[in-house]
Chain A
């Protein structure tokens, strides 16, 4: 399988805060790739640039070899339709029911009008996430873990090629976090979707990822397979990994 997304020398600043300073990494098709790093290092900024919520100051993002940064608005919208994004707090539309949330990318993003098909897709996704009976409920009536799963169902409704996860397990208890990690693996294996995660949950990352990039000081400082990175010589990453696994042993 080839490369599906490539980030090339990306720069992004907010005033005097230079968050990304030449970050580069390639994402292979059909793999789970994680970007790890401490809080506040710009992991969210990196994937928000990939999905197009933020515009980079410099550098490029290629999708199937085609620049997303220099594409026209229409081309970019077309490319973006092939991406899904699971927000850290799910970002469900609170004035809509769960079913309407899942149907939204189909009806408004793709212009789907066939009500029977929409209803079938919504129910299929609800069954898939293991919450078949919550369609009529509002997001406020659901727990954090349920909202995460509904968010995932919403992104899957349009069968994206690439799915980006922003801190998917943050704020969840270990059991729920594990459920979400299992769902990510399932999404990748069952549908062949390329998954890009940003997280500081190092233990889970090393378990479920095929490839890992370490973001520090605005750049990807180290990258490789989990077994390669576990023996890294990069001092900060070594410390970062050691601290995370030390917590587990305690």
Chain B
């Protein structure tokens, strides 16, 4: 019973610490000085360097999804619907979620490990002793860069996924190209694309804050940093899936 009580206490203490950190991050975003060079570095690291992996994964998703849908729809002689099916699911759900999960694996874990190592080697404390707020210097550029790059990469994932879908459906399974685009045009609305991009921005913010939080609160030594990275990846992955459901529900009620 005592152990259970301690777990509950630790859970609320952790949540409290996280929300204090979140408040600190939010207060720091509009604060000067604006460090454009650091923002540029993070945009390059999170965004530009992630283009190949996002292109590859979204192309694969588009191709696989196209293959399955075309096979299914062929039973009803409605293969041309594949363009709309893939376009719609990519725009609303698959592109933002797959992009975010890939970026958590690639950048989120690295973010936690980098900040965690800085915590362990007292580099964050050193910054503080020089009157430089480590949250402002290190976390703000990561958060802003994530909010900027996640929607851009999601938009790219939409396009590349559709190309993959087109190649499989039209190039390999003989779906009529006119029908593919016709269905895509009639079923996919601009709101579907916007909703996916908004989700991506929110998920980018969540990933950067959660992974930075775990880095800042990393335990001692290599083991502590490793455990912090694992916890950051698990928490942010589960967190974005929960947030995705809530946002999907809200957007279906508000946008459509």
- A77 touches B (CB below 8 Å): yes
- A104 touches B (CB below 8 Å): yes
Residue of B nearest to A151 (CB): B126
Residue of B nearest to A79 (CB): B131
List residues 119-154 of chain B with CB under 8 A from any CB of chain A: 121-123, 125-126, 128-132, 137
- Complex-state Cα separation, A77 to B131, whole angstroms: 6
**In the complex where A108-B137, A111-B33 touch, is A91 in contact with B130 (Cβ < 8 A)?**
no
What 0/1 readout, one digit per residue, does chain A (105-142) give for beta carbons within 8 Å of chain B? Answer: 10011010000000000000000000000000000000
Tell me which of A84, A87, A108 contacts B125 (CB under 8 A).
A87
Shortest C-beta distance, A17 to chain B (Å), equals 15
Report yes or no: B131 in contact with A80, Cβ–Cβ below 8 A. yes
- A89 touches B (CB below 8 Å): yes
List the B side residues contacting A108 at CB < 8 Å. 130, 132, 137
What 0/1 readout, one digit per residue, does chain B (59-72) give for beta carbons within 8 Å of chain A? Answer: 00000000000000
List the B side residues contacting A94 at CB < 8 Å. 117, 121, 123
How many A-B pairs with Cβ below 8 Å?
48
List the B side residues contacting A81 at CB < 8 Å. 130-131
Shortest C-beta distance, A95 to chain B (Å), equals 8
Shortest C-beta distance, B254 to chain A (Å), equals 39
- A93 touches B (CB below 8 Å): yes
Residue among B33, B126, B129, B132 with the highest chain A CB neighbour number at 10 A: B129
List the A side residues contacting B130 at CB < 8 Å. 81, 104-105, 108-109, 158
**In the complex where A108-B137, A111-B33 touch, is A87 in contact with B122 (Cβ < 8 A)?**
yes
- A85 touches B (CB below 8 Å): yes
- Complex-state Cα separation, A94 to B118, whole angstroms: 9
List the B side residues contacting A111 at CB < 8 Å. 33
Interface size on A, residues (CB 8 A): 24
- A52 touches B (CB below 8 Å): yes
List the B side residues contacting A246 at CB < 8 Å. none
Report yes or no: B132 in contact with A93, Cβ–Cβ below 8 A. no
Report yes or no: B132 in contact with A85, Cβ–Cβ below 8 A. no
**In the complex where A89-B121, A89-B122, A93-B123 touch, is A80 in contact with B132 (Cβ < 8 A)?**
no
List the B side residues contacting A52 at CB < 8 Å. 128-129
- A51 touches B (CB below 8 Å): yes
List the B side residues contacting A51 at CB < 8 Å. 129
Shortest C-beta distance, A13 to chain B (Å), equals 16
List residues 54-96 of chain A with CB under 8 A from any CB of chain B: 77-78, 80-81, 83-85, 87-89, 91-94
Residue among B118, B131, B132 with the highest chain A CB neighbour number at 10 A: B131
List the B side residues contacting A48 at CB < 8 Å. 125
Report yes or no: B121 in contact with A53, Cβ–Cβ below 8 A. no
List the A side residues contacting B128 at CB < 8 Å. 52-53
What 0/1 readout, one digit per residue, does chain B (98-119) give for beta carbons within 8 Å of chain A? Answer: 0000000000000000000110
Report yes or no: B123 in contact with A91, Cβ–Cβ below 8 A. yes
Shortest C-beta distance, B19 to chain A (Å), equals 19
List the A side residues contacting B117 at CB < 8 Å. 94
Between-chain CB contacts (< 8 Å), 17 pairs: A52-B129, A77-B131, A81-B130, A85-B126, A87-B122, A87-B125, A88-B122, A91-B122, A91-B126, A92-B123, A94-B121, A94-B123, A104-B130, A105-B130, A108-B130, A108-B132, A109-B131
Given contacts A83-B129, A89-B121, A94-B117, 14 further A-B contacts (CB under 8 A): A48-B125, A78-B131, A80-B131, A85-B126, A85-B129, A87-B126, A88-B122, A91-B121, A91-B122, A92-B123, A93-B123, A104-B130, A109-B132, A158-B130
The 10 A-B pairs at the shortest CB distance, nearest first, are namely: A91-B126, A91-B122, A109-B130, A85-B129, A105-B130, A77-B131, A108-B132, A53-B125, A81-B131, A109-B131
